[in-house]
Amino acid sequence: MEDTMTITGQHRGSLAGLKVVDLSRVLAGPLCTQLLADHGAEVVKVEPPAGDDTRSWGPPFVTEDMSAYFSALNRNKSNISLDLRTRAGQEILTKLLHNADVLVENFKPGTLAKWGFTDPHLRNTFPALIHCRVTGFGIDGPMGSMPGYDAVLQAYSGLMSMNGEPDGTPMRIAVPVVDMVTGSYAFSGILLALHARQRTGTGQMIDCTLLDTAISLLHPHSASFLTDGEIPRRTGSAHPTIAPYDVFHAQDGPVFIGVGNDRQFNALLELLGLRADPRFATNADRLANLPELRGLLASRIAEFRRGPLTKELLSHGIPATSLHNVAEALNDPQVLHRDMVVELDGYRATGIPIKLTETPGSVRTPPRPLGADTSTVLSAVGYSPDDVDALIESGVAQQHGIDPVRLADAFQGGA
């Protein structure tokens, strides 16, 4: 494998030269820092001796100590393993922060303060540092400091109540959407804080919670409730305010058809060989007579094969698709054309969703083994070889992986 930080240092992504200390685990924080790393930031992931919880979230596993789950969130980062409960570990973190622009963490509220890194201490000691904190509910208020995973917040926020069939029970959304959007919000918040720092010269706290994200995802149900006071009901795959917008079954499998206006609806009727009906003239009419409309469309769509049908619908400006499984989606020609599946040295993952023409992101290094870069990161922040050996021997730092990486320029300069 090539020199990780040499590659990173030469990369001219939008965030080249930005130095990030990643203390986060699980999903939202690691996704945020991976987005930063994909666009050129130099990210050092600091894991406890036992590693990020998600290293064991399998099968499947990529390597003995790395699940597929973990591998999808931690590329383009160097990796150091520290016991931050120790005074020596805390001193190492201080050295890292002295040369960092951004700190990302999702500890239980109070954990950093217990180790001496209170909010006032961080502001006073590292005035230019941008500190991004991710928690479940925030650090204060009636639910402040309470723990929360993605599914807990889906349930708490009302998001889960909207997912599922009308006559079924509430269901967890199958992907961890709250965590993933929180990671994206954290990424955006860091970019906002970096822009503000250009004017002020000072950093700030970015306070992201899974709760805030989950509430923000309730649209359009939240907007409807705040307007008419009616508690929204589950509609399955259908849309609560647009019709037809749902899954239908063709001869050879399910398709999704989304009609957003009257022109599209009239074109749909024509392509299906159906006559106009005053019961369905407007979107409001279609919603008022939805059972009749669905029955009419379902019986006709069942006569077609899904491939030719969706191709014809799309050619006439009607949004439609075969309902793909994950394998079909990740092998789809358009997905591959958009570089949304990447491969590097045996590493396979989804690609970079933010495309920039002049400073594109890149996948430069696979996720690293736990502690693979411990000695080189410690050397880069001023520890002698003897000091590094002593820290590893004492258990303060761990060197778990083979370390071919040289981080000669890591964490020099910065905030």
Which residue numbers are catalytic?
Answer: 179
- Burial label, 2 (beta-carbon count in 10 A; 0-12, 13-18, 19+): exposed
DSSP for 68-105 reads HHHHTT-TTEEEEEE-TTSHHHHHHHHHHHHT-SEEEE
Q: Which amino acid is at 16?
A: A
Who contacts 350 (Cβ-Cβ below 8 Å, separation ≥6)?
72, 330, 340, 341, 342
Q: Which amino acid is at 61?
A: F
Cis peptide before 367 (omega within 30 of 0): no
Distance CA 157, CA 175 (A): 16
Asked if residue 202 lies in contact with residue 274, where contact means CB atoms within 8 angstroms, the answer is no
Longest dimension (CA), the chain: 84
The H or E element that residue 222 is part of is: helix 221-228
How many CA within 13 A on the CB side of residue 42? 27
Distance CA 388, CA 381 (A): 11
Distance CA 39, CA 136 (A): 27
Cis peptide before 244 (omega within 30 of 0): yes
Distance CA 312, CA 306 (A): 10
- Angle between the N-to-C axes of helices 177-200 and 28-38, in degrees from 0 to 180, rounded to the nearest 10: 50
Three-state SS at 378: helix
Asked if residue 115 lies in contact with residue 82, where contact means CB atoms within 8 angstroms, the answer is no
Pairing of strands 130-135, 102-105: parallel
Beta strands in 205-294 (DSSP E): 205-209, 245-250, 253-258
Write the CA distances from 307 to 249, 254, 267, 300, 328, integer angstroms: 12, 10, 18, 15, 13
